[in-house]
């Protein structure tokens, strides 16, 4: 419920776990957008500190690296995209039940090799977008990536697949003193031939799958 333009909030105490008090806001979609717009404008004009943005991202379950990146975004569209991604992953934004049902039924037709609908099933999803994005939007990031690796002239016009793997926490990939990892990964890309070649090269060099 709301009074005028004010969003009502409630305090709930969790008696089943650690007894912490949680503040819950009941709001509509346009209030969420207004809040994000307020944060973005405040960050741009100095009304909100980067530390506040960082803490907001961390409260949604982001890693410190993700929160740090989010707090340093200056492009408006990138800010919105990152914020939406964080809220989607945290479960704040959810599809209507009948839409979620149709999507679930559609995903089942893919015959994916893992039980995505099981709560104890864990998998990763990686989206490697190249194609026409390399002509405009990604150019700056590609140059920045290769320059950070000592190349003033990028050897290829994209960021390699290996770069995506840096998000795996090394400590989580150690078993009995040996670095290893065994995870189900759903990979979506518009450049399947090159990505397959990159994966094959990684397997050849590292001797693992």
How do residues 61-111 score in pLDDT, each as one tens digit?
888 888 888 888 877 778 888 888 888 888 777 778 899 899 888 888 877
Q: What is the pLDDT of residue 28?
A: 66
Task: Return mean pLDDT, the chain.
Answer: 76
pLDDT beyond 90 at 159: yes
Under 8 Å CB-to-CB from 95, ≥6 apart: which residues? 103
Confidence label for 6 from pLDDT (cuts 50, 70 and 90): low
| pTM of the predicted structure, to 2 decimals | 0.52
pLDDT beyond 70 at 168: no
Can you read off the two tokens belonging to residue 15? 């008696």
pLDDT beyond 80 at 187: yes
CB atoms within 10 A of CB 52: 14
- For a pLDDT cut of 70, what percent of the chain falls above it? 67
List Cβ<8 Å contacts ≥24 apart for 28-34.
Answer: 28/2, 31/2, 31/7, 32/87, 32/92, 32/93
Q: Which residues pair with 10 in a beta bridge?
A: 24
Rounded to whole angstroms, what are the CA distances from 158 to 130, 131, 168, 204? 7, 10, 21, 21
pLDDT beyond 60 at 5: no
């Amino acid at each position: 419920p709301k009074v005028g333009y004010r969003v009502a909030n409630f305090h709930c105490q969790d008696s089943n776990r650690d007894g912490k008090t949680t503040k819950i806001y009941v709001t509509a979609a346009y209030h969420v957008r207004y809040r994000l717009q307020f944060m973005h404008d405040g960050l741009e004009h100095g009304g909100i500190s980067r530390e506040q943005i960082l803490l907001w991202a961390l409260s949604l379950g982001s890693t410190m690296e993700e929160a740090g990146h989010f707090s340093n975004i200056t492009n408006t569209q990138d800010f919105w995209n990152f914020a939406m991604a964080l809220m989607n992953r945290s479960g704040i934004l959810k599809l209507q039940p009948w839409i979620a049902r149709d999507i679930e039924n559609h995903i089942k037709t893919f015959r994916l090799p893992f039980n995505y609908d099981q709560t104890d099933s864990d998998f990763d999803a990686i989206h490697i977008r190249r194609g026409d994005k390399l002509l405009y939007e990604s150019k700056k990031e590609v140059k920045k990536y290769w320059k950070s690796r000592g190349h003033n002239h990028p050897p290829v016009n994209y960021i390699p697949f290996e770069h995506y793997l840096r998000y795996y926490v090394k400590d989580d990939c150690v078993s009995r003193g040996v670095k290893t990892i065994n995870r189900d990964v759903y990979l979506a890309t518009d450049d399947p031939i090159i990505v397959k070649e990159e994966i094959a090269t990684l397997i050849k060099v590292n001797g693992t799958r």
